[in-house]
């Protein structure tokens, strides 16, 4: 039974950190994993052609601590997607996800990403072919429609076809993509969110795992969606306010996100783990900044957070920068003060 079936049968929700190009690389995922044992982590989108012809090891390798990790593929050719899955199978990903939501010009010229929403029959063929070669769940991340499509008309048909093709889960970014005239960034902000439609899709498909994505900015909102949906996927909020992830496991267990009472001990353990990890990355030819650039959003709202960010942004980027900069950055944050405030919040 796949972990999606288990989640669906047992009523356990899944919290995912969205695939984000240039952001959710292996170092980012390693950091996120330190904050949540349970979160499902997605790679950046990797184009099938790049896996077949490009630097595989660099594109696909990751640390065992990152599990569960889903590999997101971009492509529209069944043969290439299947070949990419065969190659990736050596790396032990927990899920293969097909990108049917990315609106960038580069992606459109390759006729994959969001423009595939126009051809659900073809996407269903891709999913069916991918299922044939994958030993792990095959899932889809889509929009509610594109351009002049009417989401209430096209989304039910799109989902029915994905389900018919055997998709193990579908993650729905609850807004359209407008392929003409908007940048990818604008396409994450301007088309309006339609959570009602996505929630309705869940009610109409009780036996299929459906997750919602788009515009969810904190764990309270995530929790509210989970009263209807099987899963919730956060992108920008999880990356830019990374500390939010420290409350995810408690939220999923049903205890309150006030589990942050133990932040003091956790943050210091996190510091030490990230120092050890960064040392390993540097010893393997990487740079401190490759790790620390994902850490700047850790302490939003804490006294000392600005200094933490400054140290990481200015010092960690210098040639030859070492891991003592991570210690210096953590030392700038008032962790004890935050622990007291967390304790007060719980008591009060
Ligand atoms: C920097 C960045 C890169 C992204 N790259 C991808 C990607 O590779 N694949 C994908 O499906 N979506 C990508 N997205 C979209 C996110 O996965 C997500 O659908 C979107 O940000 C909406 O969720 P949010 O409001 O929680 O951020 C990206 C978003 C951002 C901000």
pLDDT reported for residue 256: 52
Return the active site residues: 102
**Ligand 1 atom with least separation from CA of 215:** 25
Ligand 1 site, residue 19, Cβ cutoff 6 A = yes
* Averaged pLDDT of the chain: 93
Residue closest by Cα to atom 23 of ligand 1:
214
Residue 331 has pLDDT above 90, yes or no: yes
**Per-residue pLDDT at 3:** 96
- Range 245-268 average pLDDT: 72
Report the percent of the chain where pLDDT is more than 70. Answer: 92
Domains in the chain, please, with CATH? 3-253 (3.20.20.70), 266-339 (1.20.120)
User: Phi and psi for 232 in degrees, rounded to 5?
Assistant: -135, 135
Question: Ligand 1 centroid vs 234 CA: distance in angstroms?
Answer: 9
CA 149 to chain centre: 26
Separation CA 273–CA 267 (nearest Å): 10
Cβ of 177 less than 6 Å from ligand 1: no
51 close to 22: Cβ distance less than 8 angstroms: no
Instruction: Report the distance separating Cα 111 and Cα 109, nearest Å.
Output: 5
pLDDT average, residue stretch 255-271: 63
Ligand 1 binding pocket includes 174 (Cβ within 6 Å) = no
Pocket test for ligand 1, best of 16, 187, 235 (most atoms within 8 A of CB): 235
Assess whether the C-beta atom of 188 lies below 6 angstroms from ligand 1: yes
Determine the average pLDDT of the residues in 11-22.
Answer: 97
Percent of the chain with pLDDT over 90: 86
pLDDT at 167 over 80: yes
Mean pLDDT of 108-130: 90
Give the closest residue to 221 by CA, choosing from 174, 187, 270, 156: 174
Residue 184 has pLDDT above 70, yes or no: yes
Separation of CA 235 and ligand 1 centre (Å): 6
pLDDT at residue number 263? 45
User: In the block, which residue shows the tokens 């040392």?
Assistant: 279
Of 9, 85, 70, 8, which is closest to residue 39 (Cα–Cα)? Answer: 70
pLDDT score for 51: 98
pLDDT band at 120 (very low <50, low <70, confident <90, very high): very high
| Cα 43 to Cα 24: distance, rounded to the nearest angstrom | 6
Amino acid 181: pLDDT: 84
């Amino acid at each position: 039974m796949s972990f999606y079936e288990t989640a669906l049968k047992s009523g356990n929700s899944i919290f995912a950190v969205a695939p984000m190009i240039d952001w959710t690389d292996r170092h980012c995922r390693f950091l996120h994993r330190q904050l949540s044992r349970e979160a499902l982590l997605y790679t950046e989108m990797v184009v099938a052609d790049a896996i077949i012809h490009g630097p595989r090891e660099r594109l696909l390798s990751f640390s065992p601590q990152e599990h569960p990790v889903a590999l997101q593929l971009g492509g529209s050719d069944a043969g290439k997607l299947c070949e990419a899955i065969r190659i990736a199978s050596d790396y032990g990903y927990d899920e293969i996800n097909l990108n049917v939501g990315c609106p960038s010009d580069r992606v459109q010229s390759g006729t994959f990403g969001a423009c595939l929403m126009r051809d659900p029959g073809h996407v269903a063929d891709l999913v069916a072919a991918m299922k044939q070669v994958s030993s792990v769940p095959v899932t889809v991340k889509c929009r509610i429609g594109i351009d002049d499509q009417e989401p209430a008309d096209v989304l039910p048909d799109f989902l029915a076809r994905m389900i018919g093709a055997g998709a193990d889960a579908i993650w729905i970014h609850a807004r359209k993509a407008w392929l003409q005239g908007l940048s990818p960034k604008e396409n994450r902000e301007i088309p309006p969110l339609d959570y009602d439609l996505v929630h309705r899709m869940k009610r109409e498909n009780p036996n299929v795992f459906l997750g919602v994505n788009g515009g969810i900015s904190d764990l309270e909102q995530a929790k509210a969606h989970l009263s209807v949906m099987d899963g919730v996927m956060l992108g920008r909020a999880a990356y830019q306010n990374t500390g939010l992830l420290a409350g995810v496991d408690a939220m999923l267990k049903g205890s309150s996100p006030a589990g942050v009472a133990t932040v003091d001990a956790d943050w210091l353990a996190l510091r030490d783990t990230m120092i050890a990890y960064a040392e390993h990355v540097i010893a393997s030819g990487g740079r401190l900044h490759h790790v620390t650039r994902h850490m700047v959003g850790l302490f939003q709202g804490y006294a000392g957070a600005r200094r933490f960010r400054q140290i990481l942004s200015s010092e960690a980027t210098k040639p030859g920068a070492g891991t003592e900069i991570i210690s210096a950055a953590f030392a700038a944050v008032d962790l004890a003060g935050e622990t007291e405030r967390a304790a007060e919040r719980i008591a009060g």
